[in-house]
Amino acid sequence: MRNSRFTSLLLAGATASAALTVGAGPAVAAPSDPAAVTAPSAPSDPSGVTAASDPDGVAASPGEQDVEVFAEDGTIGRARVPAASPFVAEPFMSAAAAGDGAVTKIVNNGSTDSKLDVVMIGDGYTAAEQEKFRKDAAAKWKDISAVQPYATYRKLFNVWAVGAVSAQSGVSGDPKQSTVRTTALGSRFWCNSIERLLCVDINAVDAYAAKAPQADLVIVVANTAKYGGAGYGSTRSPLGYEGIATVAGGNAASGQIAVHETGHSLGKLADEYVAEDQGPYQGAEPPQPNLATLSADRMRKDKAKWYRWLGKASPDGGNVGAYQGGGNHPSGLNRPTDNSVMRSLGREFNLPGREAMIAGFYRHASTLTSATPTTTALKATDRLTVDLPVSGTKLRWYLDGKEVPALRDRRTIAVADLGPTGPRPAAHELKAVANDPTSAVVDPALTPALTRALVWSVTR
Ligand SMILES: [Zn+2]
């Protein structure tokens, strides 16, 4: 399933009226709009799973986006909103102006090629408020990374702050619906007449995200203490990131919005909530790992979906089973647990969700890194250090394919300890193999990503 629109069709809702009112297909860029962020092309992920659960086949019109709305009580719903904002500073491409869009690394765990790079872009922060923005962004990451499995895997992430400079402080719709502020990204509450729905101009987001092209994940941090946010789950940027979450910089609870959204973008998870206006699901088996048309018995018999987790106690409470309802549909689809973060904010991922998140982290980041490039030719007098960012990771060293057991789990080794033999000019192969033995990932299709190797050449 390469095209996300077809995936939407696969998950087609039961009733035409529902399909027309609760669209969730990806927006298709108008041909006349070269700057459009959304692209009709297929996601790069070979599983072809769409970012959102896409319960019907109606794509948003050009210039529209399907977003998720997060109420204060934790419930989640959907809305269709304009992709542009009337309150964006034009032209946002003037971001090239001095001082605007400055990129700062606020959490540094290593080089971009071995880490998952989160990019936070500020909105409604003036030139004088850029330090406040970086503090708000750091606090937001603290809230997000307190949730499992982020907490265990936090060293797989870098966090970058893109300091978009806004002409005015604060964002539209705060404190009153009538409040208007011109800002770099055009953030506004009361989007679609929903007070807590915090929309942005997604082309402006993309223009600033381009300043940190390493972005794997984009979060917009708005200068407001008012609870709110949005999840642009179907947005796919030509820059490579999928989805945008918007959060209130000064509201701790809003960080959970980003956690839910990354369930889609990183975990490729579906929503587990139900929309009031949807009928029973009658489509084919959905591709996402946390929705199934199957009963628990059927999963066990067919060795399908989350059968390995059935009956196990889940971090979000209760045991993994097949709970009726999910992917917006009240029936016809089952979810793994009663109430995970993919159903309500402020909750934990369930066991299948946690497994999918860890696999998603490892699609971007590595369990083994070293400051010494593998192109370095090591000599007998050298020492070599590797980094294992995830605690509990096991490490083994191999010389010419044979393990050196004495060095097991040693992060720094002396080449002299290896005792390579043979003619002096001959090169030997030194290999470090790291494995994250976590019991949170059990699917054999996902476990290869838990092992990484680095190879150097060594001479005596
Ligand atoms: Zn969602």
What whole-number distance in Å separates Cα of residue 159 and Cα of residue 117? 6
Q: Looking at residue 427, what is its pLDDT?
A: 87
Q: Looking at residue 49, what is its pLDDT?
A: 29
Torsion of the alpha carbons at 86, 89, 94 and 100, rounded to the nearest 10: -130
Per-residue pLDDT of 290-306, as tens digits, reads 999 999 999 999 999 99
By mean pLDDT, which of 12-26, 127-141, 235-249, 378-392 is the weakest? Answer: 12-26
Ligand 1: distance of its center to the CA of 13 in Å?
A: 17
Ligand 1: distance of its center to the CA of 53 in Å?
A: 7
Q: Looking at residue 1, what is its pLDDT?
A: 27
By mean pLDDT, which of 93-97, 210-214, 390-394 is the weakest? Answer: 93-97
Ligand 1: distance of its center to the CA of 186 in Å?
A: 23
Q: Looking at residue 460, what is its pLDDT?
A: 74
287 confidence band (pLDDT: 50, 70, 90): very high
Ligand 1: distance of its center to the CA of 270 in Å?
A: 7
Whether the predicted pLDDT of 337 surpasses 90: yes
Q: In what order do the strands lie in the sheet with 102-107?
A: 76-82, 64-70, 229-236, 242-248, 217-222, 116-123, 157-163, 102-107
Ligand 1: distance of its center to the CA of 327 in Å?
A: 9
Ligand 1: distance of its center to the CA of 271 in Å?
A: 5
User: What whole-number percentage of the chain has pLDDT above 90?
Assistant: 74
Per-residue pLDDT of 435-450, as tens digits, reads 999 999 999 999 999 9
Ligand 1: distance of its center to the CA of 175 in Å?
A: 27
Mean pLDDT of the 342-355 span: 97
259 backbone φψ class: left, alpha, beta (φ>0; ψ -120 to 50): alpha
What whole-number distance in Å separates Cα of residue 36 and Cα of residue 64? 11
Q: Which residues contact 60 (CB under 8 A, 6 or more apart)?
A: 23, 25, 26, 27, 28, 66, 80, 234
58 confidence band (pLDDT: 50, 70, 90): low
Ligand 1: distance of its center to the CA of 350 in Å?
A: 14
Q: What sign does the dihedral 207-212-214-219 (CA atoms) show?
A: negative
Ligand 1: distance of its center to the CA of 260 in Å?
A: 6
What whole-number distance in Å separates Cα of residue 150 and Cα of residue 348? 11
Whether the predicted pLDDT of 155 surpasses 70: yes
Whether the predicted pLDDT of 107 surpasses 70: yes
Ligand 1: distance of its center to the CA of 335 in Å?
A: 14
Ligand 1: distance of its center to the CA of 264 in Å?
A: 7
Whether the predicted pLDDT of 167 surpasses 80: yes
Ligand 1: distance of its center to the CA of 212 in Å?
A: 25
Ligand 1: distance of its center to the CA of 396 in Å?
A: 40
Ligand 1: distance of its center to the CA of 243 in Å?
A: 11
Average pLDDT over the chain reads 86
Mean pLDDT of the 151-169 span: 96
Mean pLDDT of the 95-112 span: 82
Ligand 1: distance of its center to the CA of 252 in Å?
A: 19
Supply 178's token pair.
């009538």
Q: Looking at residue 36, what is its pLDDT?
A: 40
Q: How many CB atoms lie within 10 A of CB 98?
A: 6
Whether the predicted pLDDT of 20 surpasses 80: no
Record the pTM: 0.84
Whether the predicted pLDDT of 390 surpasses 70: yes
Whether the predicted pLDDT of 45 surpasses 80: no
Q: Looking at residue 91, what is its pLDDT?
A: 57
Ligand 1: distance of its center to the CA of 295 in Å?
A: 23
Q: Looking at residue 100, what is its pLDDT?
A: 87
CB 383 within 8 A of CB 415: yes
Ligand 1: distance of its center to the CA of 299 in Å?
A: 24
Mean pLDDT of the 368-373 span: 96
Whether the predicted pLDDT of 432 surpasses 50: yes
Supply 133's token pair.
């923005």
233 confidence band (pLDDT: 50, 70, 90): confident
Ligand 1: distance of its center to the CA of 336 in Å?
A: 15
Q: Looking at residue 235, what is its pLDDT?
A: 86
Whether the predicted pLDDT of 25 surpasses 50: no
Ligand 1: distance of its center to the CA of 261 in Å?
A: 6
Q: Looking at residue 40, what is its pLDDT?
A: 36
Whether the predicted pLDDT of 16 surpasses 80: no
Ligand 1: distance of its center to the CA of 376 in Å?
A: 45
Domains (ranges, CATH) in the chain? 4-265 (3.40.390.10), 377-458 (no CATH)
92 confidence band (pLDDT: 50, 70, 90): low
